[in-house]
Amino acid sequence: MIHSLQFRLLAAFTLVILVTSVTVYFFVSRSTVGEVRTYGERSERFYASGMTRFLYRFYRQNEGWVGVQQPVEQMAGTSGRRIILTDSRGVIVADSEKKLNNSFYRPELPGHVIRVPGMNEVTGTLYISPSADPASPQSLLNSVNRFLLWGGLLAVIIALILTFILSRLILAPIQALKLSARKIGQGDFSQRVVSRAKGEVGELTTTFNLMADNLDRAEKMRRNMVADIAHELRTPLSNISGYMEAVSDGVVELNAATILSLKEEASLLSRLVEELQDLSLSDAGQLKLFLQEEDIVRLIRQIVARMQSKADLKGLTLSVKLPDKVPPVRLDARRISQVLQNLLENAILHTSVGDSITVTAERKGNNIEVSVSDTGEGIPETDLSHIFERFYRVDKSRARATGGSGLGLTIAKRIVEAHGGVIRAQSEVGKGSVFSFSVPLSPERL
């Protein structure tokens, strides 16, 4: 609860409102007190000077204070104040409350001396109680405070309600994301979040859905891969166990030919396992290359020489068209040999007597491009775009019989790409295929 985003938003808003209210209260009350006090003092002075002028006129007309009690009472009555007037000696000549007449006054109220204008002669002193007006500084301040208190309280309540509604709106997509993330965490990769939110939350939703897509795809791929691997392993394994059973049942004789067949199946298995290992290394981005400056032409000649006997055995012409000299290339000789060997094996496999296979190499821009072309059966256009996918085989049944796992080109592509190059295939059914790959030249050789 305390850690929930909604609670934190509520707390943050409440805090902001409280701080604002207290600050406003502080400044408003200070300035109100000041303003009201100066206003009060000014009006008090104004009132007092009006009175002294009036009383002086009375004094002049009546030549003394006799009879002043009545007008003083009147004035006090209309203003709601207590008014005391003393003569020049300090003896009270009028008291609006009629209590202290004819006694000496010990001033308790603020006094205003009444003088003869222009001279120093004092005719009396006027004492006036402060106004009992309800608009005194304190009462005004109290009402401002009350207003601020209730206003602040109302603002807090409105803000809380608004925050509650807004936070629900803002947090709804986040809540949906939370639920979906939980389900994905439990293995349900079909989860997607539908939200019309824009801005950061919208972006988060899009990214989340993208992540879910990728997870979903990866999971499907993993499942397919496991199924494919199981499928690929099943054939040689069942062949091996078939041979074993036949031998133990006495149906097949355990002779050199049987052992050779068993060996072939076992080597098929170990090749498959090796290919799978390469694939998983490249999947994990750990296909380590041991790069060294190599003479790629020499490397090609080596591999071609190694494959020559296989080609001869099938009645194929295997030739090379290589330049005399190309700049040295930084590459992993073992891995590039693996690529070239795979392309040559494929070419030999998909050609027949009288066909020819040619290996060429040439510098194209900043790359060395190596091509293996054959005049074999070719690849249908619909398959051509898939041949670099894992476990993809054009002729499923025949390819298996010839030992292909459908991983060779996938691995070749990964190796070439790890070198920073590209691999391509062109083919026409009945005419043959051309597989080419490029390896970039070392920058210092350009």
Nearest distance, CB of residue 264 and ligand ADP, angstroms: 15
Residues 147-186 that bind ligand ADP (CB under 6 A): none
User: Is the separation of the CB atoms in 416 and 422 below 8 Å?
Assistant: yes
124 vs 378, beta carbon nearer ligand ADP = 378
Shortest distance (Å) from residue 312 CB to ligand ADP: 18
Question: Which one, 124 or 408, has the nearer CB to ligand ADP?
Answer: 408
The residue (of 350 and 414) whose beta carbon lies closer to ligand ADP is 350
The dihedral over CA atoms of 306, 366, 292, 272, expressed in degrees to the nearest 10, equals -50
Residue 122: CB atoms within 10 A of its CB come to: 13
Q: How far is the CB of 375 from ligand ADP (least distance, A)?
A: 10
CB of 244 to ligand ADP, least distance (A): 26
DSSP string, 190-239: T--------HHHHHHHHHHHHHHHHHHHHHHHHHHHHHHHHHHHHHHHHH
Please list the residues that pair with 358 across neighbouring strands. Answer: 319, 373
| Beta-carbon-side half-sphere exposure of residue 285 (alpha carbons within 13 Å) | 0
Nearer to ligand ADP, 393 or 419 (CB): 393
Which amino acid type is present at position 291? L
CB closest to ligand ADP, residue no: 404
**Residue 332 Cβ vs ligand ADP, minimum distance, rounded to whole Å:** 19
d(CA 270, CA 277): 10
Residues 361-380 as x/- pattern, contact with ligand ADP by CB under 6 A:
-------------x-xx-x-
Q: Which of 75, 368, 394, 416 binds ligand ADP (CB under 6 A)?
A: 394
Quote the least distance from Cβ 185 to ligand ADP, whole Å.
Answer: 36
What's the distance, CA 306 to chain centroid?
55
The site string for ligand ADP over 329-358 (x = CB under 6 A, - otherwise) reads: -------------x---xx--x--------
Among 225, 276, 295, smallest CA distance to 442 is for 295
Task: Looking at 284-370, list the stretches that DSSP marks H as alpha helix, in order from N- to C-terminal side.
Answer: 296-314, 333-349
Scan residues 397-436 and list those touching ligand ADP (CB under 6 A).
399, 404-410, 433
- 371-392 burial code (b ≥16 CB/10 A, e <16): bbbbbbbbbeeeebeebbebbb
Q: Quick one: 144 or 384, whose CB is closer to ligand ADP?
A: 384
Q: Which residues are at the interface with ligand ADP (CB under 6 A)?
A: 342, 346-347, 350, 374, 376-377, 379, 387, 392-395, 399, 404-410, 433
